[in-house]
Amino acid sequence: MVMSRKVFHRLVDYREVLDIVERYVRLSPKGIEEVPIEDAIGRVLAEDVYAPSDVPPFDRSLVDGYAVCALDVARAQEDRPVPLRVIARIGVASQPPTFSRGECVEVATGAPIPYPADAVVPVEYCDEVSNDTVFIRRRVAPGENIDFAASDVVRGQLLAERGTVITPAHVALFAATGIRKVKVFQRVRVAIIATGREIRPPGTELESWCIYDVDTYLLASLLTSRRCFTYVLKGIVPDEVSKLKAVLDEVLDEVDAVLIIAGTSAGVDDITYRVLSQYEPGIVAHGVKLRPGKPTIVAVVGDKVVFGLPGFPVSCYIAYRLVVEPVLMKLAGARFSSEGPTVRARLLTEVRGIIGFRRVVPVVVSRRGNELLAYPIPIKSSSIAHFLSCDGFILTEPSTEVIKRGTLVDVILINQQLSISDVLYIGSHCPLAERILRKVLGPNVKLIYVGSLGGLRALLHGGCDVAGSHLLDPETMEFNVPYVRRLGLRDVVVVRGYVREQGFIFRRDLAGKVSSFRDIVDLGLRFVNRNRGSGTRVLIEEILRKEAEELGMEPKELASRIKGFHVEFTTHEAVAIAIAQGRADVGFGIRYVAEKYGLGFKYVADEVFDLVISRSAMSEKYIRNVVEFMGSSAFKELIREYSGYKVHRDTGTVIFEA
């Protein structure tokens, strides 16, 4: 039986979803419970909380010193100290005495203030000459170094409103006023159902053409991060309408909301929308004006909310953050911003929108002086690792074609707080470069892999500190420096890196048969290419050009005869894995990954991998440590662990400055 295809008739804006759902069901908490304050983090207050006592409950000293009348020491100076008689010494939780003018009381930090003292002189400005006399060398103003009663919190003051998500600061405030328990709304119960015959749980052996279940654990961790939610995992359900409906029927009585993963799009095998169409009122929105995130389903079943989320992890994450989470937070009784925490940053390159959609653009955030800068990173909706290495994302407006460079934009943070690394590396992926940077810099470096050209462009716009590059210039046969000149980079230095062996990577049974693109064509082999902008792609095209010239044809003609020439992968590892899994026969890359995955290798050429560094970063000690390490004997020992890598005669030296 051939199933019909679903067409998205009307897409909704993600900000409309909350209102749409509330037309069918009341989004409100299901109950109230009282919990100890130490268990209240992340829970939602069910009632306003008022202070039952003053904080502090009495006047107390902020320092170790002497409680005095400010007028008595008004003339005190370093060279003309004022003597006062010490009548007592008190610590915390002590009954304060009363004293007269010309007298004082020695007090500890936190001790009550005796009458009629109106200031405390810190002990470092006092010289005690006997048991009952002290010389004061500094005058103090009335109120100085005293924490007055109710100066922090007044009894009856509103501490937190109903709907507040409780933080550690709230817990401290409740404790300070003597509150032991608070009333909170019950947690929202959520079920997670994964679908797909190709999905396998982590920890099991992965069969051919199958993938591990990412979204279940992504969603579970997102729910866990909000302690006002709890979840149950219902496992992986095959792509069969009857089986998914049976699981959904069972779980609807147990939870407040359901998240179904995948099967939401317009494919003939997608079943989630078919199942949800069988309920009343059923689907209330199918398709959201988000890219990625478009094939999101919102449904209401009785008084329960059910979401169908896209299967690709980035799409799933975006749909959860912008569509699902606001609804769940409303169910939890929380006052909540639909976007979550944001920062304001200046865009370093222009961003193109998609008319009719809000385009999700991942960015990394860096700091220049007091200003935050956002650099867009191109990422596929399936690339969760690359996405989560970014700091956040921006949303274009549906009517916006272009956001110009230099525009201030709101960056929606992926994590609750922004953490900017000391060093931001953007550029080509290299196992050795990653090892060097992590060895020298530890956790203080963030690595983003977008290819050599992408790294240089990021450096051009001020988007990173270091770019890794191995771009060959066919005209000069030099690496990297011609591209630095051509792109017009300024205030950068090129540090010579090391040499890597590049060549054809192939199945072991093809050893001795592949040494050129002509061999690939003659044998009818399937080739996998590298992405445009990568150094390896530049080398591939130069080799292709030379072979085509020898054959008396245009490079495009030779490329058209190579099966899979237009299939592009972004890393050497991806090429090797495709061959190891039998999805391709041959590719082009470094010897290191060929041996790592047990594949054959035919050497073609050496290439040079360099670090291009901004001058401002080069002035920092941690970057200089990287450069110094590359010129050390320790680096020469390290590089021996990487087959196909060699030290260059200029490794660790600055070969070009701009």
- Domains of the chain, each with CATH number or no CATH: 14-22+187-331 (3.40.980.10), 32-55+152-185 (3.90.105.10), 60-147 (2.170.190.11), 345-410 (2.40.340.10), 421-658 (3.40.190.290)
pLDDT in tens, 201-234: 999 988 888 999 999 999 999 999 999 999 999 9
Whether residue 29 has pLDDT greater than 90: yes
Give the span between the Cα atoms of 144 and 153, in whole angstroms: 19
Dihedral sign computed on CA atoms, order 316, 200, 211, 390: positive
Q: What pLDDT sits at residue 5?
A: 43
Q: Which residues are within 8 A (CB) of 633 and not within 5 positions of it... i.e. 6 or more apart?
A: none
Q: Which residues are within 8 A (CB) of 442 and not within 5 positions of it... i.e. 6 or more apart?
A: none
3-state helix, strand, coil in the chain (%, to 5): 25, 30, 40
Q: What pLDDT sits at residue 266?
A: 63
**Do residues 150 and 53 lie in contact, with contact meaning Cβ atoms separated by under 8 Å?**
no
Q: Identity (one letter) of the amino acid at 403?
A: I
Q: What pLDDT sits at residue 105?
A: 98
Whether residue 2 has pLDDT greater than 90: no
Give the span between the Cα atoms of 201 and 587, in whole angstroms: 30
The angle formed by the CA atoms of residues 507, 508 and 509, to the nearest 5 degrees, is 90
Give the span between the Cα atoms of 56 and 177, in whole angstroms: 9
Whether residue 417 has pLDDT greater than 90: no
Give the span between the Cα atoms of 10 and 20, in whole angstroms: 13
Give the span between the Cα atoms of 531 and 569, in whole angstroms: 6
pLDDT in tens, 99-144: 999 999 999 999 999 999 999 999 999 999 898 999 999 999 999 9
**Eight-state DSSP code of residue 515:** S
Select from 250, 245, 295 the least CA-distant residue to 274.
245
Q: Which residue has the tokens 């998240």?
A: 259
Q: Identity (one letter) of the amino acid at 457?
A: R
Q: Which residues are within 8 A (CB) of 573 and not within 5 positions of it... i.e. 6 or more apart?
A: 593, 596, 597
Q: What percent of the chain has pLDDT over 90?
A: 84
pLDDT in tens, 537-592: 999 999 999 999 999 999 999 999 999 999 998 889 999 999 999 999 999 999 99
Select from 201, 235, 175 the least CA-distant residue to 39.
175
Phi, psi of 18 (to 5 degrees): -60, -45
**What tokens were used for 576?**
């090797």
**What tokens were used for 545?**
């050009």
pLDDT in tens, 349-401: 899 999 999 999 999 998 888 889 999 988 888 788 778 889 999 999 999 99
pTM for this model (two decimals) = 0.84
Q: pLDDT category, 7, cuts 50, 70, 90?
A: very low
- Across the range 28-57, mean pLDDT stands at 97
Give the span between the Cα atoms of 32 and 186, in whole angstroms: 5
Return the beta strands (E) in 51-132 as ranges: 60-61, 65-68, 82-90, 103-107, 119-122, 126-130
pLDDT in tens, 161-194: 999 999 999 999 999 999 999 999 999 999 999 9
Q: Which residue has the tokens 């050390």?
A: 632
Q: What pLDDT sits at residue 435?
A: 95
- Across the range 305-326, mean pLDDT stands at 96
Query: Mean pLDDT for the chain?
Result: 94
Q: Helices (DSSP H) in 419-464: which residue ranges?
A: 431-441, 452-460
Cα–chain-centroid distance for residue 395? Answer: 16
Q: pLDDT category, 267, cuts 50, 70, 90?
A: low
Give the span between the Cα atoms of 121 and 139, in whole angstroms: 8
Identify how many contiguous H helices and E strands the chain contains and give both numbers.
Answer: 19, 40
pLDDT in tens, 497-526: 999 999 999 999 999 999 999 999 999 999
**Do residues 599 and 507 lie in contact, with contact meaning Cβ atoms separated by under 8 Å?**
yes
**What tokens were used for 365?**
């955030």
Q: For residue 478, give Cα distances in angstroms to 345, 460, 499, 655.
A: 37, 20, 13, 12
Dihedral sign computed on CA atoms, order 151, 155, 158, 163: positive
Phi, psi of 418 (to 5 degrees): -85, 130
Q: What pLDDT sits at residue 422?
A: 85
- β-pairing, 402-403 vs 351-352, is antiparallel
**What tokens were used for 130?**
């006997």
Whether residue 95 has pLDDT greater than 60: yes
- Across the range 442-454, mean pLDDT stands at 89
